[in-house]
C-alpha cells in the first residue's frame, strides 16, 4: 500500500514546487560517487535544471542498476546528518539522535521509492521532504509524550531493519560523516548568520527554488540568488565535502 508523502504544516519545514530531474549515465555516475566527483559541473538539460550526480544516481536506481540506491545513501547520508545537526533543528535532537534520523529517513525512502517521480522534482528535494515529514512526526510524538509528563528521546530503526529493507550498509556514510572535513564544515556552518544558514539549508541541501527561499527571507529573488552564489563560493573555498550540496 503506497504511503503518500504529505505537505508539512510547520512553516519552516514547508516544501513544494516542480523542478524536473535530469537524465544521466548511471555507470559513470556510480564511479564518480566513489570519490571522483569533486568539481563536477552542473549542466542544463531538457529534463531539468541540472544534471547533478545525485540525479544521475537516482535515474540509475529507478532503472534497476545495481548499487545505485546504495550509492545514493552513501552520498546523501552526511548531508541529511548535517541538516539534522544544524542549530535551527536543535529541537529535533531532543526527539531522536541525528544518526537514527538518517536511517529512518532512508527506510521511508526505500518503502516509497516507487512513488518518486523525477518529472516533479529532484531526488534530493524528495529525500529531504521525507526528512521534514519524519521530523514533523517526531515533534508530534514528543509533544504528546511531554503532555503525558513522560517526554523521552525516540529510538530509530535498527541497522538490521535498514539492511533488510534496502540492502544499504550505513557504515560507509557514517565513516564519511565522522571525517574531519565534515566535522569542520559543521563547525563553520554553525557560525554562519541565521539567514546564511537558511540559504545553505534550503537552496543547497534541500534543493528548493531560490524564489521560494527569497520569500522566506523577505528579499528579492535576484538578491537571494546573488547571496546564495556568494555563500556557495565562500564555502567551496573553505572546503565543501562531496554530496553536502549539488
Same structural domain, 36 and 59 = yes
Q: Which tens digit of pLDDT belongs to each residue from 153-194? A: 445 554 454 455 555 565 665 665 667 778 888 889 989 999
Residues 62, 146, single domain; the answer is yes
Top pLDDT among 206 and 181 is at 206
Task: Spell out the alpha helix ranges (H) of 2-88.
Answer: 26-31, 53-62, 68-85
Q: Give the range of the structural domain holding residue 230, as residue numbers without chain letter.
A: 179-241
Q: Which residue has the cell 503532555?
A: 147
The per-residue pLDDT for 51 is 63
Q: What is the pLDDT of residues 20-73, one digit of tens each?
A: 222 233 333 333 333 333 333 333 333 234 468 898 899 899 888 988 888 888
Residues 72 and 127 in one domain: yes
pTM of the model: 0.71
Q: 6 lies in a domain?
A: no
Per-residue confidence (pLDDT) for residue 220, from 0 to 100: 96
Residue 200 lies in a domain: yes
Q: With bands split at pLDDT 50, 70 and 90, how would you rate the model's confidence at 200? A: very high
**Residue found under cell 530509530:** 156
What CATH number is attached to the domain comprising 226?
Answer: 1.10.10
Residue 162 falls inside a structural domain: yes
Q: Please check whether residues 88 and 129 belong to one and the same domain.
A: yes
Flag whether pLDDT at 126 surpasses 90: yes
Task: Give a yes or no: residue 1 inside a domain.
Answer: no
Q: For residues 185 and 161, state if they share a domain.
A: no
Distances (CA, A) of 6 to 11, 98, 203: 14, 22, 21
Mean pLDDT over 220-237 rounds to: 95
Q: Which of 106, 88, 204 is nearest to 156 (CA)?
A: 106
Question: Looking at the 3D structure of the chain, how many domains does it have?
Answer: 2
Task: Based on the fold, state whether residues 54 and 143 are members of the same structural domain.
Answer: yes
Does residue 59 sit in the same domain as residue 129?
Answer: yes
Whether residues 50 and 80 share a domain: the answer is: yes
Q: Is residue 202's pLDDT more than 60?
A: yes
Amino acid at each position: 500500500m503506497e504511503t503518500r508523502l504529505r505537505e508539512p504544516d510547520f512553516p519552516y519545514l514547508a516544501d513544494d514546487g516542480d523542478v524536473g530531474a535530469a537524465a544521466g549515465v548511471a555507470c559513470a555516475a556510480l564511479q564518480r560517487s566513489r570519490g571522483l566527483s569533486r568539481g563536477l559541473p552542473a549542466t542544463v538539460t531538457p529534463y531539468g535544471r541540472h544534471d547533478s550526480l545525485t540525479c544521475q544516481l537516482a535515474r540509475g536506481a529507478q532503472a534497476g542498476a545495481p548499487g545505485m540506491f546504495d550509492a545514493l545513501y552513501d552520498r546523501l547520508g552526511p548531508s541529511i546528518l548535517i541538516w539534522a545537526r544544524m542549530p535551527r533543528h536543535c529541537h529535533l535532537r531532543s526527539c531522536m539522535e541525528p544518526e537514527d534520523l538518517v536511517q529512518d529517513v532512508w527506510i521511508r525512502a526505500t518503502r516509497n521509492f516507487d512513488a518518486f517521480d523525477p518529472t516533479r522534482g529532484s531526488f534530493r528535494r524528495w529525500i529531504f521532504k521525507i526528512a521534514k515529514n519524519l521530523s514533523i512526526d517526531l515533534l508530534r510524538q514528543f509533544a504528546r509524550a511531554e503532555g503525558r509528563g513522560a517526554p523521552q528521546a525516540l529510538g530509530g530503526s535498527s541497522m538490521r531493519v535498514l539492511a533488510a529493507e534496502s540492502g544499504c550498509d550505513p557504515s560507509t556514510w557514517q565513516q564519511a560523516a565522522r571525517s574531519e572535513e565534515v566535522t569542520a564544515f559543521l563547525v563553520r556552518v554553525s557560525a554562519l548568520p541565521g539567514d546564511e544558514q537558511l540559504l545553505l539549508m534550503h537552496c543547497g541541501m534541500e534543493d528548493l527554488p531560490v524564489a521560494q527561499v527569497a520569500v522566506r527571507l523577505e528579499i528579492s529573488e535576484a538578491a537571494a540568488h546573488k547571496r546564495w552564489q556568494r555563500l556557495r563560493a565562500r564555502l567551496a573555498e573553505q572546503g565543501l565535502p562531496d554530496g553536502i550540496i549539488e
